[in-house]
Amino acid sequence: MNRRRVVITGMGTVNPLGHNVQDTWSALLAGRSGVSKTELFDASTFPSTFSAQVKGYDLSQDMPDTTKHRHAGRHCKFALGAALQAWKQSVLAECDALDPRSLGIYLGSGEGSLDFDNFTSLMIDAWEDGKINTRKWAALAKDRMDLHRETEQESNMVLAHLASEFGVRGPAFNVLTACAASTQAIGEAALQIRRGDADVMISGGAHSMIHPFGVTGFNRLTALSTRNDEIAGASRPFDLTRDGFVLGEGASILIIEEYEFAKARGAKILAEIVGYGSSADAFRITDQDPGGQGASGSMTVALQDAALSPADIDYISAHGTGTKQNDQVETRALKAVFGALAGKVPVSSIKSMIGHLIAAAGATELITCVLAIRDQILPPTTNYHHPDPDCDLDYIPNEPRKTDVKVCMSNSFGFGGQNDTLIVTACE
């Protein structure tokens, strides 16, 4: 029995480089940095005073009447905007054959920004005799905590807003596997379609962690770059002088559907998802298996799922965070999978420009793979000036590259050892 094919018919994004797909793509090919001094809170005393923030975005850019979603959190508004862009491109609104019960949603969405000012003021006011007086806390919270604002911090609220907006009656899931979340969500959404549980899936990811808690956690893990005197060049994946990633935020959403369904309604097919692989490191909570066994495992499974060999891959969108360990491990994993071909397959990390969007990273990077196939050009790894003997592959340094591109692999490796890989091709 032939399995159902899965194709991409719509894409949308709101991120530090652009509020839509084309603006983002143009910025990436121009090598522009989305990194700036952090403005979402006063980070002047933090080890990292900069981040990749979404600036100037208003949901009304994509939705004339935002009343229904007026309580939506920051990351949720990004996701709504990205989803509306993708939905518009897919032209599904004009499809009478779409049964809401065959329309599903699978997101890799993180928590929203917390209301730290209000939370800490409540703690201070309820503090008595060296601890929080819980009775006083409850009384104060009743009057001073916004119910809508608090519930919007739950990671599944993005799913709820999108399901409501598009009338989803089919399968609905949210996964939060750290940096691998949206890649895993898209892969699992594709499996829903293959199995026949849905004809169309809204999938992707959203996250906004640029707040004191998020930055403090990553700083304490020494995962963030502290290059405060050179912020535009702070994110430098695979470079010998890399010192950590730059925290970003945003959302990217794709519309994926069963090939025959898309073909029958005359949809413009952007690419086909042919391979998905997932694995766990089973190593440590705080770092990756140094041998890259988990990462190589997800790539191997994705190739097997796609019935492709390493020689068929024209481009690899790397996870490429810019931390010492991640880039070494990913390089080792690529060598293990691609063998003698490893140095010949172009690899790049757009995190060098856009920052690390955490749960939204994988979906954003998959979109760039689709665009690379469309335009036959590969985005660069910027800020790459000092080769690392332990990272010795072709990382497309600093300038985009015109080349023949038909098959792309996209990697996402999450904190805690979750690894996910997608393979997309031009659709024939």
Cα separation, 235 vs 326, in Å, equals 13
Contact present, 206 and 107 (Cβ < 8 Å): yes
From the number of C-beta atoms within 10 Å of its C-beta (0-12, 13-18, 19+), residue 120 rates as exposed
Residue among 99, 112, 89, 88 at smallest CA distance from 40: 112
Can you say whether residue 50 is alpha, beta or left, with left for phi > 0 and alpha for psi between -120 and 50 degrees? Answer: beta
- What separation in angstroms does the CA of 45 have from each of 15, 40, 228, 281? 25, 14, 11, 35
d(CA 343, CA 365): 21
Catalytic residue among 75, 161, 179, 369: 179
Cβ atoms 97, 264 nearer than 8 A: yes
CA atoms of 21 and 364, how far apart (whole Å): 9
Distance CA(231)–CA(225), nearest Å, equals 9
- Which amino acid makes up residue 82? A
Catalytic-residue membership of 69: no
Give the separation between CA 251 and CA 86, rounded to whole angstroms. 12
Question: Quick check: is 356 catalytic?
Answer: yes
DSSP H/E element including 141: helix 134-144
> What distances in angstroms separate CA 138 from CA 135, 148, 158, 333, one per listed residue?
5, 17, 27, 51
Helix H or strand E segment including 25: helix 21-29
Q: What are phi and psi of 391, to 5 degrees?
A: -130, 90
Complete DSSP assignment for 246-314: -BBEEEEEEEEEEHHHHHHTTPPP-EEEEEEEEEE--S-SSS--TT-HHHHHHHHHHHHHHT--GGG--
Catalytic residue among 69, 211, 356, 427: 356
Which of the following is catalytic: 69, 75, 211, 319?
319
369 noted as active-site residue: no
Residues identified as active-site: 179, 319, 356
